[in-house]
């Protein structure tokens, strides 16, 4: 949320949901059509930066065959100025840079983000106040943060020096890297079967999908050992009951502290009772073996392509119907670390299993198996041609864990993974619509928003929407800076993106251009 001064007075811009109000949130709506509003959000997220028309065309108007040009940008800016009463030069909101582009120059009164798990430039979010840096460091943790172009970015991911730049190869068969512990002594309450359906009905009534599937709970993580991590098995209902309410509570706390100046931790305790019960201190965050610690993998899937000398990757917007991280942007693919069914839990403990399964489901249209299917074969997705390729070409790619962290929002674990495909022929097969069905791209995300803002679920429109998304390239530093300093990329994807790019730069320095001003804070 960005509040700034305009000729019509103070206005509030919700950059996440694309809404604009005169005064405070929900008061008097300022009417703007979708594309001018998108341009305003794009510029407001980069106050003071010189933004070229070409950059806006590339990022706000992904190519879909529609004839757009600089006049489209100028028309959008004219509509913004009319809505904000800023038609008279010198302009007070958007400055024209003649022959180049535009710059957002309005006086920003405040910035706050009502959703946790997305980075902030000021350490004033509820979790920054709740978990003080000194307390985190007492338990060998610190909040992942960095600076770029003189802007300091904070996240709500707690990590450690020994959890970054780790470059742990994920072996094809695991070979003891990841083990499964017996679940008879799990340190959490397990929801009885007769209560699961009641929980499901409550969750679905809010428009959020719910399916009770097996999940892995992290019990140990030691990056320097042969056995990297151990897990036990729980059910999604346990996580939803025990930890699932923390995100919503943090949302409410963020909205509350936006109205209260100089909030201190004792005040937060009274409005965050669930956190006081489940994750009251930095110590309890660090002691993940003592709770249900579900989590996931966030994968920088980087393709060499036939016509470029760098790597390409994609970012998606998550659906409003998922249980966490609603409407934020995340790397493709990403997903919860969990077995396919209740009957293959031991065989699929490897992080690599989740990487390949999510890749198949999100890029190639693979279906999630029925968790109660007793006939499922362990790792059956590994026999699919687009996945079997990795077994057949072990020197043509890099698959490594590059980071690990604990999400302060709900205590989940987050593995950052780099999957870099160095052979351009892999992408050539994926992009060739004459390829066999097993190789053809069939994006299967929770939801895809096309450039007109509509939501599609039909396969043909999914693929069309996916193709209109402008991909990111590892040598395009301006777009890398854009996603790193914008406000919509989820923290869990941000740490995986930066650490993955840093590792890929080490492996392929000529094909990755890190932003020269990027500095990590530890």
> Distance between CA atoms of 332 and 471, rounded to whole angstroms?
11
Percentage helix, strand, coil for the chain under 3-state DSSP, each rounded to 5: 35, 25, 45
Indicate whether 175 pLDDT > 70. no
Q: Are residues 104 and 121 in the same domain?
A: no
Q: Are residues 485 and 377 in the same domain?
A: yes
Q: Which domain holds residue 271?
A: 116-161+246-276
Structure tokens at 8: 């019509």
Does residue 376 belong to any structural domain of this protein?
Answer: yes
Determine the pLDDT at residue 393.
Answer: 96
By percentage, how much of the chain surpasses pLDDT 70?
Answer: 81
Structure tokens at 170: 């994920």
Q: Are residues 491 and 464 in the same domain?
A: yes
Beta-carbon contacts of residue 189 (< 8 Å; ≥ 6 apart):
238, 241, 242
Does residue 194 belong to any structural domain of this protein?
Answer: no
Does residue 520 belong to any structural domain of this protein?
Answer: no
Residue 173 pLDDT grade (very low, low, confident, very high; cuts 50, 70, 90)? low
Q: Are residues 167 and 261 in the same domain?
A: no
Determine the pLDDT at residue 319.
Answer: 47
Does residue 223 belong to any structural domain of this protein?
Answer: no
SS3 64: coil
Q: How far is CA 206 from the centre of its chain?
A: 22
SS3 278: helix
Indicate whether 9 pLDDT > 90. no
228-283 pLDDT, tens per residue? Answer: 999 999 888 888 877 878 887 887 787 777 666 677 888 888 889 999 999 999 99
Check if the beta carbon of residue 396 is closer than 8 Å to that of residue 475: no
By percentage, how much of the chain surpasses pLDDT 90?
Answer: 39
Q: pTM of the predicted model, to two decimals? A: 0.74
Determine the pLDDT at residue 248.
Answer: 78
Among candidate residues 59, 148, 64, 67, the one with its CA nearest the CA of residue 102 = 59
Q: pLDDT higher for 369 or 501?
A: 501
Least confident segment among 2-6, 201-205, 271-275, 479-483: 201-205
Does residue 217 belong to any structural domain of this protein?
Answer: no
Q: Are residues 321 and 467 in the same domain?
A: yes
396-411 pLDDT, tens per residue? Answer: 999 999 999 999 999 9
Q: Please state, rounded to an integer, the average pLDDT across all residues of the chain.
A: 82
Q: Are residues 312 and 373 in the same domain?
A: yes
Angstrom distances, CA of residue 274 to CA of 189, 244, 253, 414? 15, 10, 12, 22
Mean of pLDDT values over 77-84: 94
Q: How many domains are there within the chain?
A: 3
Q: Are residues 446 and 347 in the same domain?
A: yes
Q: pLDDT higher for 65 or 163?
A: 163
Q: Are residues 271 and 397 in the same domain?
A: no
Q: Are residues 78 and 137 in the same domain?
A: no
Question: C-alpha angle 281/282/288, rounded to 5°?
Answer: 100
Does residue 236 belong to any structural domain of this protein?
Answer: no
Determine the pLDDT at residue 314.
Answer: 87
Does residue 308 belong to any structural domain of this protein?
Answer: yes
Q: Are residues 328 and 474 in the same domain?
A: yes
> Distance between CA atoms of 234 and 188, rounded to whole angstroms?
9
> Distance between CA atoms of 410 and 284, rounded to whole angstroms?
12
Among candidate residues 71, 16, 68, the one with its CA nearest the CA of residue 42 = 16
> Distance between CA atoms of 156 and 154, rounded to whole angstroms?
7
Q: pLDDT higher for 356 or 118?
A: 356
Residue 269 CA neighbour count, 13 Å, CB half: 7
Q: Are residues 20 and 41 in the same domain?
A: yes
Residue 341 pLDDT grade (very low, low, confident, very high; cuts 50, 70, 90)? confident
Does residue 459 belong to any structural domain of this protein?
Answer: yes
The winner for highest mean pLDDT among 67-71, 265-269, 388-392 is: 388-392
Residue 6's CATH number: 1.10.10.10
Q: Are residues 263 and 401 in the same domain?
A: no
Strand order in the sheet with 214-221: 178-180, 229-235, 214-221
């Amino acid at each position: 949320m960005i509040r700034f001064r305009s000729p019509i007075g103070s206005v509030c811009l919700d950059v996440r949901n694309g809404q604009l109000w005169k005064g405070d949130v929900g008061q008097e709506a300022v009417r703007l059509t979708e594309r001018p509003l998108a341009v305003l959000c794009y510029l407001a997220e980069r106050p003071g930066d010189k933004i070229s028309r070409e950059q806006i065309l590339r990022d706000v108007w992904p190519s879909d065959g529609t004839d757009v040009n600089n006049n489209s940008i100028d028309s959008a800016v004219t509509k913004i100025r009319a809505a904000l009463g800023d038609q008279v030069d010198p302009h007070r909101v958007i400055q024209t840079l003649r022959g180049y582009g535009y710059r957002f120059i309005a006086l920003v009164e405040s910035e706050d983000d009502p959703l946790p798990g997305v980075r902030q430039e000021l350490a004033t979010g509820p979790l920054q106040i709740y978990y003080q840096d000194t307390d985190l460091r007492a338990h060998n943790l610190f909040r992942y943060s960095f600076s770029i172009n003189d802007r300091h970015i904070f996240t709500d991911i707690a990590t450690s020096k020994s959890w970054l730049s780790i470059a742990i190869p994920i072996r094809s068969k695991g070979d003891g890297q990841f083990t499964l512990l017996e679940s008879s002594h799990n340190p959490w309450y397990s929801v009885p079967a007769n209560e699961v359906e009641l929980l499901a009905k409550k969750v679905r009534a809010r428009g959020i999908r719910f399916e009770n599937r097996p999940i892995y709970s992290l019990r140990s993580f030691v990056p320097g050992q042969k056995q990297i991590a151990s897990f036990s098995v729980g059910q999604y209902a346990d996580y939803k009951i025990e930890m699932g309410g923390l995100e919503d509570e943090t949302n409410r706390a963020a909205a509350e502290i936006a109205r209260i100046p100089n909030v201190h931790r004792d005040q937060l305790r009274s409005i965050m009772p669930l956190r006081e019960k489940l994750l009251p201190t930095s110590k309890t965050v660090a002691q993940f073996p003592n709770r249900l610690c579900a989590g996931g993998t966030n994968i920088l899937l980087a393709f060499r392509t036939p016509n470029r000398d760098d790597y390409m990757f994609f970012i998606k917007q998550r659906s409003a119907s998922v249980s966490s991280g609603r409407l934020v942007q995340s790397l493709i693919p990403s997903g919860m670390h969990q077995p396919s069914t209740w009957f293959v839990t031991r065989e699929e403990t490897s992080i690599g299993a989740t990487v390949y399964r999510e890749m198949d489901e999100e890029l190639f249209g693979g279906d999630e198996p029925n968790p109660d299917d007793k006939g499922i074969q362990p790792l059956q997705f590994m026999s699919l041609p687009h996945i079997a390729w990795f077994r057949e070409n072990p020197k043509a790619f890099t698959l490594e864990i590059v980071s690990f962290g604990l999400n302060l929002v709900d205590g989940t674990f987050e593995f950052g993974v780099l999957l870099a495909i160095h052979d351009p022929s892999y992408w050539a097969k994926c992009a060739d619509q004459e390829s066999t069905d097993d190789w053809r791209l069939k994006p299967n995300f929770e939801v895809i928003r096309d450039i007109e803002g509509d939501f599609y679920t039909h396969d043909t429109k999914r693929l069309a929407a996916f193709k209109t998304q402008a991909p990111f390239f590892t040598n395009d530093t301006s777009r890398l800076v854009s996603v790193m300093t914008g406000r919509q990329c989820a923290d869990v994807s941000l740490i995986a993106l930066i650490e993955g790019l840093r590792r890929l730069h080490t492996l392929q320095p000529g094909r990755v251009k890190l932003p020269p001003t990027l500095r990590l804070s530890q």
